[in-house]
Amino acid sequence: MKIDRAIIIRRLQVPLSLEYAKMCALSCDEHKLNYEYMSAIEFLECRKAFKTVGAKKQKTYVNRMGNCCAHASHIKCWKRIIEIGKPCIILEHDAVIKGNVKDIDIPDMSVVTFGHRVKEIDDYIPPNEPTELVRIKRSIGCHAYAITPKSAEWLWNDTLRTGIEKGLDQYLMMMVPTALPLYVCEPPQAVCFERISTSKFSNAYDTTADDRLDPIKIFPQSITKGWKKGYKPQKSG
């Protein structure tokens, strides 16, 4: 089943998030990908954030407010995909579509990630259209991944049945075994454009929370030939 649309998560109370989400939407337009926005859950402590989506925080879950709200926002997206009844790609506001994500089949009971983090927007350009999905054990970041309604329903039910035991990245991408089998689109067709993170913002107009991520640290097994071919870091200055 092919991707029907993108769901872009944006924080309505954080102007910087709205700015990022607009760039994400423009990249969807450029590549003729339909999209809709999802209002993020914001500024709620963990238990309240998860309660808004009907989930319960378990004692094993240790994370700060920003992570909890982001996790809950993705759960909202899973529910929306169940409603839509077609595969969708979930995009965090700092994701940028760089190529064609519409013409590759997304398998049931799996998570398909579409790219990695970059420091500069032109650090990576897909060398060609996607040709396959490559099974990987782990990756970093839930900024751009696709699931089918069946996968979304499984994740939704697992979350409500088990509760929130670990962070979203660990659950979907990083901790082996991941919740569902993990694949990467080859070559990748999206990136996470690292800038100022909004996850530590304490209020809607806090511009001091520069949580810029460390230089790219990706599990080696997640790097495909297509990414290596298209990844050409831009020299600053």
Tell me the mean pLDDT per 10 residues along the chain, length 237: 97 94 98 98 93 88 86 97 98 98 97 94 96 95 97 96 91 94 98 75 44 52 92 76
Which residues, 6 or more positions from 134, have their beta carbon under 8 angstroms from its beta carbon? 183, 184, 186, 224
Residue 200's pLDDT is: 53
For residue 112, give the 3-state DSSP assignment: strand
Residue 154 confidence (pLDDT):
98
Give the N- to C-terminal CA distance of the chain in Å, as an integer. 44
Q: At what angle do helices 65-84 and 149-162 cross, to 10 degrees?
A: 130
Q: Which CATH class is domain 5-230?
A: alpha beta
pLDDT of residue 63: 75
Residues 6+ apart with CB under 8 A from 33: 3, 5, 6, 89, 97, 101, 102
pLDDT for 208: 40
The amino acid at 230: G
Instruction: Write the single-letter amino acid at 162.
Output: T
pLDDT the model gives residue 57: 85
